[in-house]
Chain A
Amino acid sequence: MNSVWFLVFLPLIAFLIGISFMGIGTRIVARIQRRYGPPLIQPFIDVIKLLSKDSISYGWVFDMGVWMALAGAALVVYFVPFADNIVLSGKADVVVLMYILAIAPLGMALGTAQAKNPYASIGISRALMLMLGYDLPLVMVILGIITYTGSASFADILSAQQGGIGNWYIFRLPLFAIVYFWVMIAEMGKHPFDVLIAPSEIASGPMVEFSGKYLGYLFIYMALHYYAACALFVNFFMGGAATFIEFYLKMFSVFFVLICISAVMARTTTQRAVYMYWTKPVVLAFIGWLAYLGWRIF
């Protein structure tokens, strides 16, 4: 599957996977709430409808923002191993990934800044502050994995987890897995950390002035982001996958647990969320550092 066509269509495949997650996720939430939900392909229909509507723009920075959001999200997809393909790899995958993950939110933030709407500005400031909060435990986990494996490339991390289910990092480094999962909820913007969207407080936050194809682009960005977050968890902690079906099922299991947790929790405020992220997961990750890496961290 390592042909050029695969490389070209990888973002499309990732987009479809992400859309399927969004659709199944809405349906699961609906069932939890004792009702039927929308059809499984509803998010896909939403995206097509949005791309076919009229749209308005506030200037060239607004346009550039959505281009950056889409391109940045698709760029991340190229650096996350897909099933048995480590797509674009090198010796410092994980570090580059941490930087690339920042491009798409920056694009969306620039676009919303030119929309000049205070709701959007509040939403983006909350999103950035939440990012400051969850980046601390996230980088602790990433550094822990890099030091434990001894290398920052995905090839090494995946090969260290081969040889049976007991070798998966989720069983060898459980504290890291818990902290990473905790951080993933905020990264994907789901309850209880979706303060940046907050529909009734700040009128959907950053997306308040997006319409038509701009909103469609943001939806595509969200779908790609769902894919990237779940795929990263699978690659870091569940040993990657050998076939596409196995990959999809593993990602879906992660997403399922996430959805079940997020469907039953309410939204927290930014200050509380950031304070929480700076204390509890950090303590857990620190214990993980001491337990798995020993005293050589100082």
Chain B
Amino acid sequence: MMLLDMIKADNLAFFFSVLTIGFFVANTIFLIFSGIKKGIVLNTILSLFLTMVLLMLYATHNIVIFFALWEMATWLTYLLANNPKKSSKYLWASLLAEFFMLIAVARTVAYGSYDIAMVAHVDPLNLIMFCLPFIVKSGILPFNFWVTDLYTGSDKRFVAYLSAIIGKLGIFGILRVFLLSPGLIPEWFIYTFIYLAGITAVWATFKAVGSEDAIESLSFSSLSQVAFIFASVLLMNKSALIGGLVHYLNHMLIKMGMFMAVVYIWAKTGTTEFKRLGDFVSKMPFSFLFFLMLGISLAGVPPMGGVISKWFMYEGFIEESKLLAVLLFFVAGVGSFLYVYRLLHSIFLGRKKPSIGLVSEMNILAILPLAASALISFLIGVYSRPFIRFAAKALGMDFSEPRTDIGFAYIGIVSAVFGALILFAVVLWLLLPKHRYVPDTEGYTAAAYLPKDIQHWDYSYNFYAPVVRLGDKFVRLFSLDWLARFWKEYIAAIGELFRGIYSGSLKLYGFYLMSVIVLVLFLKEMLK
């Protein structure tokens, strides 16, 4: 097929297409076999359509087709989200940005070419107008006002798609445009948006840390990671680009798997709030194991894959001496530790709650995609060379850096030593006096005698209250709600002004009529 040939010929398109198709296949398998029946046919058909649109988007070099497909992707996202009231902000923001993209397309066509590589040649403003939808789609400040509503309001099965593929369309766009127009990108643009992305990452991390809902927490976490990838791709440094693409792959796997587990729990129990969930490890141990592996990868702890991609990205920033940006993204990284722990603690470990009633382990076919994503993420961590080469090939770069070659052996050594130490710890543990297992009614309760009421003896609400209190003003400042409110009030005030003139009272209209007649007569006198 011509489309497949086009994709295979273009390395960047190949990279993104493989990932998108992989995600679609895995997600569909999970949704079909997880026993969620409602609306699955429509969802699958729309997702298939969206995947095909995205494949064509990745392959094309013609700006008019690019624009049309981008617009279609926006509308399909809106349809899949299934919640018109909450997704309206997203739609407005995207459409407004695409309006600017259309202007850029028109100017490029007037300049005389239909190719993406020529967009930057018209003038820098053209490039910025063309790239505006990419920034809006990635949710970078100041275009992050649609994020909260879309992520929390849309259909829960779709949020995985949103955070794994669609949230990152902006990154594909930036890569496509920037790689084809080296040297024509204005410095101030890169500079500003790297720092804006940094602030977005920290803002999103704070929101994730303070959230009380699993899906909301995961969604803001995706926004934070996407901002990180966006900034490293913007930097146009070799290490940062490769790290960004590997992190794209990693993050897609992580979010795919984590959302699978959470959506399954939502389907069985009807809730994703932390205070209603607990102790799912006793019913779903394998899901817990894979979820743990993915969570460790998200927090960036060796030996899972997150460490490789983050390492490359940090190295890129340090090479360019952008230490302040590294600081912002590192804070976002430490915050990720916090919300990953909250997810593990409140959903899987912790005290049993009534919601656990009917839950059982996932169907073997449904758990297969989750297991695959966890294991591939582990593979990226311990044997990352093929993935790095894949990313480098996608960017058209030759990858043979001896400096970072030692880095891989290094991570291998770390994993080997860690494995040996765990073995030692286990052997010693087995040799010491035997332990015994106790049920969870036997906890230390500080003289509150409650073996029968023990299900309330739990801490799962307002988990990180001090940090949330500290970061509250910062979060509210950058949520731009105040700006939206100000804008609304401003327009309302102007409207009030107009109401004053066109107030609908006959007396005032009579006054206008009389004053107009008097004015006309006066002028007739003057001009005589």
- How near does chain A come to B431, taking the closest CB pair, in angstroms? 10
Q: For the side of the interface on B, what is the size category?
A: 35 or more
A-B contact pairs, 14 of them (CB 8 A): A51-B432, A59-B282, A61-B281, A63-B429, A90-B410, A99-B302, A115-B443, A116-B457, A121-B345, A126-B466, A136-B330, A212-B435, A270-B466, A293-B323
Contact A136 B302 (CB under 8 A): no
Q: What is the bound-complex CA distance between A139 and B314, given in angstroms? A: 12
Asked if A297 and B321 make an inter-chain contact with CB atoms under 8 angstroms apart, the answer reads: yes
Kindly provide the distance from the CB of A276 to the nearest chain B CB, expressed in whole angstroms. Answer: 11
| A99-B301, A132-B334, A203-B446 known; A113 vs B464 contact (CB < 8 Å) | no
Q: Interface on A for B, CB 8 Å cutoff?
A: 11, 51-61, 63, 66-68, 70-72, 74-75, 78, 88, 90-92, 95-96, 99-100, 102-103, 106, 109-110, 113-119, 121-122, 124-126, 128-129, 131-132, 135-136, 139-140, 143-144, 146-147, 203, 208-209, 212-214, 216-217, 269-271, 274-275, 278, 289, 293, 296-298
Question: Which residue from chain A places its CB closest to the CB of B322 in the assembled complex?
Answer: A298
Which residues of chain B have C-beta atoms less than 8 A from A51's C-beta?
432
CA distance A100 to B410 in the complex (A): 12
CA distance in complex: A113, B411 (Å): 28
Return the chain B residue nearest A111 by Cβ: B349
Give the tally of cross-chain contacts (CB within 8 A): 208
- A216 and B429 CA atoms in complex are apart in Å by 10
Q: How far is the CB of A167 from chain B (nearest CB, A)?
A: 24
> Known contacts A71-B418, A102-B301, A203-B444; is A136 also within 8 Å of B466 by CB?
no
Which residues does chain A contribute within 8 Å of B292, judged by CB atoms?
110
Given contact pairs A119-B444, A213-B429, enumerate 18 new A-B contacts (beta carbons under 8 Å): A55-B433, A56-B436, A56-B438, A63-B429, A70-B421, A92-B407, A100-B414, A102-B299, A110-B292, A116-B279, A116-B351, A116-B440, A121-B350, A125-B459, A125-B464, A136-B327, A147-B323, A212-B433
A131 CB contacts on chain B under 8 angstroms:
334, 337
- Whether B470 is near chain A, meaning CB under 8 Å from some CB there, is yes
The answer to whether B521 has its CB under 8 Å from any CB of chain A is no
7 tightest Cβ-Cβ pairs between the two chains A and B: A118-B459, A113-B349, A271-B466, A71-B421, A121-B459, A113-B345, A297-B323
Q: Which of B323, B337, B338, B460 contacts A143 (CB 8 A)?
A: B323
B449 contacts the other chain (Cβ, under 8 Å)? no
Q: What sequence of 0s and 1s flags, for each residue 269-298 of chain B, a beta carbon within 8 Å of any chain A beta carbon?
A: 000000000010110010010001000100
Q: Is the CB of A132 within 8 A of B414?
A: no
The reply to whether the CB of B478 lies closer than 8 angstroms to some CB of chain A is no
Report the separation of the CA atoms of residues A100 and B241 in the bound assembly, to the nearest whole angstrom.
24
The contact string, 1 if C-beta is below 8 Å from chain A, for chain B 381-413, is 000000000000000000000010011011101
Contacts of A298 in B (CB 8 A): 321-324
CB neighbours (8 Å) of B425 from chain A are 66-67, 70-71, 217
Question: A52–B433 contact, CB under 8 A?
Answer: yes
Looking at the assembled complex, report how far the CB atom of B202 sits from the nearest CB atom of chain A, in whole angstroms: 10
A100 touching B302, Cβ below 8 Å:
yes
In the complex, residue of chain B having the shortest beta-carbon distance to the beta carbon of A53: B433
The answer to whether B198 has its CB under 8 Å from any CB of chain A is: no
Alpha-carbon distance A215/B85, docked complex (angstroms):
53
- Cα of A11 to Cα of B459 in the assembled complex, Å: 36
Query: What A residues does B435 contact at CB under 8 A?
Result: 54-57, 212-214
Residues 332-358 of B, flagged 1 when their CB comes within 8 A of A and 0 if not, give: 001101100100110001110000000
- Say yes or no: is B68 at the interface (Cβ < 8 Å to chain A): no
The answer to the question of B32 belonging to the interface, with a C-beta cut-off of 8 Å to chain A, is no
User: Could you say which residues of chain B place their CB within 8 Å of the CB of A103?
Assistant: 301-302, 418
Q: Are A102 and B418 in contact (CB under 8 A)?
A: no
Main secondary structure of the interface of B (DSSP, over half): helix
Min CB distance A55 to B, Å, is 4
Q: Identify which of A57, A92, A119 contacts B410 (C-beta below 8 A).
A: A92
Whether, in the assembled complex, B437 has its beta carbon less than 8 Å from a beta carbon of chain A, the answer is yes
Supposing A91-B406, A92-B410 touch, asked if A296 and B321 sit within 8 A by C-beta, the answer is yes
A213–B427 CA distance with the chains assembled, in angstroms: 13
B516 at the interface (CB under 8 A from A): no
| A residues less than 8 Å from B331 (CB atoms) | 132, 135-136, 139
A293 to chain B, nearest CB (A): 8
Which residue of chain B lies nearest to A129 when distances are taken between CB atoms in the complex?
B467
Cβ-based interface call for B184 (8 A)? no
CB neighbours (8 Å) of B407 from chain A are 90-92
Are A57 and B437 neighbours in the complex by a CB distance under 8 Å?
yes
Collect the chain A residues with CB atoms within 8 Å of residue B507's CB: none
Residues of B within 8 A of A59 (CB): 281-282, 437
B438, A57: Cβ atoms under 8 Å? yes
Is A68 touching B422 in the complex (CB atoms < 8 A)? yes
Contact B426 A209 (CB under 8 A): no
Tell me the B436-495 residues at the A interface (CB within 8 Å): 436-438, 440, 442-444, 446, 457-460, 463-464, 466-467, 469-470
Q: A67-B429, A71-B421, A135-B334 are in contact. Are A143 and B436 (CB under 8 A)?
A: no
Q: Measured between alpha carbons, how far is A144 from B324 in the docked complex, in Å?
A: 11
Residues of B within 8 A of A119 (CB): 444, 446
Bound-state Cα–Cα, A102 to B459, Å: 23
Given A132-B334, A135-B331, A203-B444, check contact A113 B417 (CB 8 Å): no
Contact partners of B302 in chain A: CB under 8 A: 96, 99-100, 103
Shortest Cβ distance from B446 into A: residue? A203
Bound together, the chains give a CA A139 to CA B324 distance in angstroms of 11
> Which residues of chain B are within 8 angstroms of A124 by Cβ–Cβ distance?
341, 345
In chain A, what residue has the closest Cβ to B302?
A99
Contact assessment for B311 and A95 in the assembled complex, using a CB-CB cutoff below 8 Å: yes
Task: Verify if B326 is at the interface (C-beta below 8 Å from A).
Answer: yes
Report yes or no: B443 in contact with A95, Cβ–Cβ below 8 A.
Answer: no
Question: Complex Cα distance A212/B432, Å?
Answer: 10
Cβ of B318 within 8 Å of any chain A Cβ, yes or no, is yes
**B174-209 vs A: 1/0 string, CB under 8 Å?**
000000000000000000000000000000000000
